[in-house]
Amino acid sequence: MVIQAKNPILEVHDLTVTYDNKPVLWAIDFSLPSGTLAGILGPNGAGKSTLIKTIMGLITPSGGYSNLFGQELNKVRKRVSYVPQRESVDWDFPASVFDVVLMGRYAKAGLFKAISKADKEVAEESIRKVGLESFRDRQISQLSGGQQQRVFIARALAQDADLYFMDEPFAGVDMATEADIIKILKDMREKGKTVVVVHHDLPSAIEYFDWMVMLNMRLVASGPTAEICNEQMLQETYGSRLNVLSHVGELVKNRSFPIRENQ
């Protein structure tokens, strides 16, 4: 089930990615509307991270293409932000929280342009929004996993993009940090930003996202959560792995999506 968006901010057409001649993603075709908080869901090895890396130009597809704002990525790169998985970054690099967040302004202004007082103020405000004011001058290697994830979010906020791709932003964080991050993402959506999140937890995905893209190497479904999140689509996405998540089927059947409490 694929529901195409009207006036899409992102279009993916027949996208195929292979590693060593083995398909990782096969003929992916979907679109996303602007102002959406969207989740990319699927089992391990489904190609979720590969999808957003390919859209961001970090992986060359074997076939197909994607458009952002109706154009190629290179023409709109300043309007797009990418938050990679925390594990992919060298956190021993000698930089402070403020240094890393300020990098978001370089992405916005251009690498060779001088950073202004206004840019620094944006960085300070972004740090405040994620609750890291007291860690402003702390070396990133001295932060906890949840704090490092907040630094990533702050850097993305400082970039002030229109479209954000975030790869597992909730991985390795506690419930309180996850609640804070999803609140930030929902606030971004309310301000007209589009946020696309790779996520793995089905119960929270049902609660968090108003649009879902379900993958298992191929596209299973894409559309508003309330329309595509049903037992058939979940079964096609997760297969036998869904058995251990049988309560999710009940949530979908009853449309009783719980509000998760901090623990």
Q: Quick one: tokens of 56?
A: 């961001």
What distance in Å separates the CA atoms of residue 27 and residue 59, rounded to the nearest whole number?
15
Q: Nearest 5°: CA angle at 68, between 66 and 74?
A: 85
Return the CATH fold of 1-69+165-174+196-254: Rossmann fold (3.40.50)
Per the CB < 8 A criterion, the answer to whether 55 and 12 are in contact is yes
Q: How do the pLDDT tens digits run along the chain, 263 residues long?
A: 888 888 899 999 999 999 887 888 999 999 999 999 999 998 888 899 999 999 999 999 999 999 999 999 999 988 999 988 877 667 677 888 998 899 888 876 665 667 788 888 999 999 998 889 999 898 888 888 888 888 889 999 998 899 999 998 888 778 888 888 899 899 999 999 999 999 887 878 888 999 999 998 899 999 998 888 877 887 888 775 555 444 455 555 555 544 343 33
For residue 251, the model assigns a pLDDT of: 52
CA distance 173 to 181: 10
Q: Considering the entire predicted model, what is its pTM?
A: 0.84
In the chain, domain spans: 1-69+165-174+196-254
CA angle 11, 29, 75 (to 5 degrees): 25
Q: Are the CB atoms for 237 and 215 separated by under 8 Å?
A: yes
CA dist., res. 104 & res. 23, Å (int): 34
Q: What was the pLDDT predicted at 20?
A: 81
In this predicted structure, what is the pLDDT of residue 260? 40
32: closest CA among 2, 4, 13, 51? 4
Provide the pLDDT for residue 261: 37
